[in-house]
Structures are given as C-alpha cells and as structure tokens.
Amino acid sequence: MSNLLIVDDDLEVLALLKKFFMQHGYAVETVAGGTELWAAMERHPADLIILDLMLPGENGLLLCQRLRQQHA
C-alpha cells in the first residue's frame, strides 16, 4: 500500500483529499504546515507528498526544495 502525505492549511481540502485517496486504497496522513511535515516524515516517510504551494510561513516551494535536498 502506498503512503501519501498531504500538506495543506485548508482543513476542508485535507479532509476531501484524504477521503478520496483512502477510498482508492492509499494510506493517507494529512498535516497543515511545514513543522508538521517534518514530524510526519520522521514518524513514517511518505511514498508521495501532495504539497500546497501557498502555505503560511515556509511556503510549499521552500518545503519542496528542502525535501529534495534531504530525501533525494
């Protein structure tokens, strides 16, 4: 089973995406920002990350760059 991590600050979007992917057989974890992203990756590395670009604080592009540096 593939593990997805969805990062978005909109809780309704998170709930909708989580429900959709779980119905299609994925294990899904959702988080609302960068701090939670790093904690989730420590607990259980994801096979795929769906990342919102317009996050408060550290935006999605910066998070993506850091992810590539650390997990490439």
Q: Tens-digit pLDDT profile for the chain (72 aa)? A: 799 999 999 999 999 999 999 999 999 999 999 999 999 999 999 999 999 999 988 899 999 999 999 876
Residue 35 and residue 8: Cα distance in Å, rounded? 12
Which pLDDT belongs to residue 71?
Answer: 77
User: The tokens 């992203």 sit on which residue?
Assistant: 37
Q: What is the pTM of this model?
A: 0.91
**CA–CA dist 21, 24 (Å, integer):** 5
Compute the distance between CA of residue 65 and CA of residue 18 in angstroms, rounded to an integer: 24
